[in-house]
A and B are shown apart, each in its own frame.
Chain A
Amino acid sequence: MTTASPVAPTTASAPSTIHRWTPVSRTASGALAALLLVLAFAPLVFTPEVTAKLTTLFVLVIVAAMWNALAGYAGLVSVGQQGFIGLGAYGVFLFVDRGVNPFVAVVLSALLAGAVAVPTSLLAFRLTGGQFAIGMWAIAEFFRLVVVNTPSLGGGSGRSLTDLSATDPAVRQAQVYWLALALMSALLLAVFVLLRSRLGASLEAIRDDPVGAASVGVRVASAKRLVFVLAAVGGAAAGGLTLANTLRVQPDSIFGVHWSAYMIFMVVIGGLGTFEGPIIGAIVFFLVQDWFGANGGTWYLIGLGALAIGMTLWMPHGLWGTVARRRDLELLPVGYRVKPPVV
């Protein structure tokens, strides 16, 4: 995302300056931080129904941001991230059954999924491009079938999180909301910091040309693996939060490939490979889902699919990407800008 405007041959001694922040991005980042802070007070103002909906939105933002980090920055398109979402949800039971507090269990389960992602990457990284995409799907199916065949996890019919049913619903809903807000903020911050680090530049180099990146000394595999593990942790956090929010999980829905459809849709709508795009895509998707109902039937899905095709073909940079390019905007700066010297 380095925006290098053509630099006129310098006649004076004043050098070009490289900087990250602009007045616009300072204001926007500050506003976002303030917004997150204000959102923390939502359970005190709104009804549990509203905070439950916002929790769903936060889960969508998490999975969209994670998928974007994978596909948009590391060039790893996966249609199997639901595998980690499912592991994250079912991992909660592993800890809860040993007496761990359910909210702590959500966090631990996300970290556990990150640990599972390391050996998974050893297998999955043997595939590239479209093969990696479906290979991840096969791995996600493998995870699902392992869960379905484990009786203590409820098998095919799923399992309920009874440990939280005892608490007052309003209190529980607020707690889940705060956890979701905290995890979303932490994960977005992690992606932001990652992309601004030296690794961020490596990742974009890998996405654009893996062989070229390797030839100039970028450690391709380890950079990809780091993002893969982060995306697994994020997906699993989303799964754990979904369980805490709905109190019940079924393998066919938590491991369902529709998650991949949603992630792809949000990121493609918002703008692949931009930091802001997936957040905007998640909000758009959340509103659409709210209007049509969560399972709005076949016509709703036909519309989503057709829109994904249309956006990919005619608006490949998505809503935010298109605006940002035209206006040269970056609200949350992850790249560098070159400012030509004032002559």
Chain B
Amino acid sequence: MNWINAIVQGVMLGGVYALFACGLSLMFGVMRTVNLSHGDLAVLGAFLVAVLAAAVGISPFFAVLLVLPVMGLVGVALQRGILSKALRTGEMSSMLATFGLAIVLQNVLLEIFSADSRSLDVGSLSSAGLQLGSSVSIPYLGLLTVAVAVALLGGLQLLLARTGIGRAIRATAADADTAELVGIDSRRVYAWAAAIAVATAGLAGAFFAMRSSFSPSMGPTQLLFAFEVVVIGGLGSLWGTLAGGMVLGIAQTVGAQVDPRFSIVAGHAVFLAVLAFRPQGLLGMRRSRT
């Protein structure tokens, strides 16, 4: 039964990872660039929620709703201030610039909030769960996280497939110059994509903060996990991102069940195995060879 419990916990953890990966995947799909500050932006979101909830005395869930638009604006600022200029000189510049931003963000948060870890109090929800048998319990918070991840990825899928802005995003992702020719403002599309990506990063950070303690220095690790999720799931597939999150989460919890030291190693090992044996990812399209 311990193994079943480990898998259940892995699915719950996978929900958070899928949330983390969602924005990274979107930004890569649309702008063809990896935002190396993604993890630290998620931590920023977590701190904003924590500060707002404490200062106004509201529930963290309500605070998340207020922080999301703020994070969206941060995304627009990132696009307008750094990425639009860096992308003009190539992918390398945007990587170097976002890496610089990651260092700045992490250390500004360290300066303001110190290195202590803290947690986001969600009251009784943090421990309550659905007890199945003697050793398996499904925490409500985990269920909620998975539900939010499914809703977010499903909603994003619908947005991309059915709406005008979704069409514009897909067109820009396929070929920005040609999209411009038919009247799509790629600057606007990029700003939208960055806003959505950074807002979901903030959402992921908040959910992470609700389930475990967090500190300013956890950004890089979250970026790594989010990236592994994207590769495991397969590029350009939002459902793949969900599946990738689950696979990474389960790998870590089952690894921890074998020996607590193996938790993170097991996740990395699955990532490397996918790279070796299925480089297009679980649900990804086979990429053309270059």
Residues of A within 8 A of B (CB): 71, 75, 77, 79, 122-124, 126-131, 133-135, 137-139, 141-142, 145-146, 148-149, 210-211, 214, 257, 260-261, 264, 268, 272, 298-299, 301-302, 304-309, 312-313, 316
- CB < 8 Å: which of B33, B100, B269, B276 contacts A305? B100
B125 within 8 A of A: no
Q: Are B97 and A308 in contact (CB under 8 A)?
A: yes
**Across the two chains, which residue of chain B brings its CB closest to A139?**
B272
Rounded to whole Å, the gap between the CB of A210 and the closest CB of chain B is 6
Complex Cα distance A71/B271, Å? 24
Contacts of B34 in A (CB 8 A): 129-131, 133-134
Q: Choose one: B91, B103, B272; the contact of A308 (CB below 8 Å).
A: B103
Asked if A301 and B107 sit within 8 Å, CB to CB, the answer is yes
Going nearest first, the 3 A-B pairs with the smallest beta carbon separation are A130-B34, A305-B103, A308-B100
Which residues of chain A are within 8 angstroms of B111 by Cβ–Cβ distance? 298-299, 302
Assess A313 versus B92: contact at CB under 8 Å? Given A138-B224, A210-B290, A302-B111: no
In the assembled complex, B220 has its CB within 8 A of some CB on chain A: yes
Residues of B contacting A149 with CB < 8 Å? 261-262, 265
Number of A-B pairs, beta carbon distance below 8 Å:
127
Residue of A nearest to B101 (CB): A309
Give complex CA distance A142, B269 in Å.
8
B residues within 8 A CB of A138?
Answer: 224, 227-228, 268, 271-272
Chain B residues lying within 8 Å of A130, measured Cβ to Cβ, are 28, 33-34, 36, 91, 94-95
A298 to B28 Cα, complex, angstroms? 30
B89 sits at the interface (CB 8 A): yes
- Which residue of chain B is the closest to A156 with respect to CB atoms? B261
- Are the CB atoms of B99 and A214 closer together than 8 Å? no
Q: Which residues of A contact B97 (CB under 8 A)?
A: 308-309, 312-313
Contact B103 A135, beta carbon cutoff 8 Å: no
A96 to chain B, nearest CB (A): 26
**With an 8 A cutoff between CB atoms, is B51 at the interface?**
no
Q: In the complex, which residues of chain B have a beta carbon less than 8 angstroms from the beta carbon of A309?
A: 82, 97, 100-101, 104
State the CA gap A257–B82 with chains docked (Å): 22
Q: Are A135 and B231 in contact (CB under 8 A)?
A: yes
User: Is B224 in contact with A305, judged by CB distance below 8 angstroms?
Assistant: no
B279 contacts the other chain (Cβ, under 8 Å)?
Answer: yes
25 A-B residue pairs with CB within 8 Å = A123-B272, A123-B276, A129-B91, A130-B94, A131-B28, A131-B227, A134-B36, A134-B223, A134-B227, A149-B265, A257-B220, A260-B99, A261-B99, A261-B103, A299-B111, A301-B106, A302-B107, A305-B103, A305-B104, A308-B96, A308-B97, A309-B100, A312-B93, A312-B100, A313-B82
What residues of chain B lie closer than 8 Å to A123, measured between beta carbons? 272, 275-276
In-complex Cβ contact of B92 among A77, A142, A301 (8 A): A77
Q: A137 CA to B102 CA in the complex, in Å?
A: 15
Q: Which of A135, A214, A308, A312 contacts B275 (CB 8 A)?
A: A135
> In whole angstroms, how far apart are the Cα atoms of A135 and B275 in the complex?
9
Asked if B32 is an interface residue, CB under 8 A from chain A, the answer is yes
**A75-B92 contact, Cβ under 8 Å, with A138-B227, A149-B265, A214-B290:** yes
Q: Which residues of B contact A148 (CB under 8 A)?
A: 261
A299 to B279, CA, bound (A): 40
- A306 close to B100 (CB less than 8 A): yes
Complex interface: chain B residues within 8 A of A316 (CB):
89, 93
Is B108 part of the contact surface with A, judged by Cβ < 8 Å?
Answer: yes
Which residues of A are found within 8 Å of B161, using beta-carbon distances?
none
Please state if A298 and B268 are interface contacts (CB–CB under 8 Å).
no
Residues of A within 8 A of B32 (CB): 129
Q: Which residues of B contact A298 (CB under 8 A)?
A: 107-108, 110-111
Known contacts A123-B276, A133-B36; A308 and B107 CB within 8 A of each other: no
Is there a chain A Cβ closer than 8 Å to B86's Cβ? yes
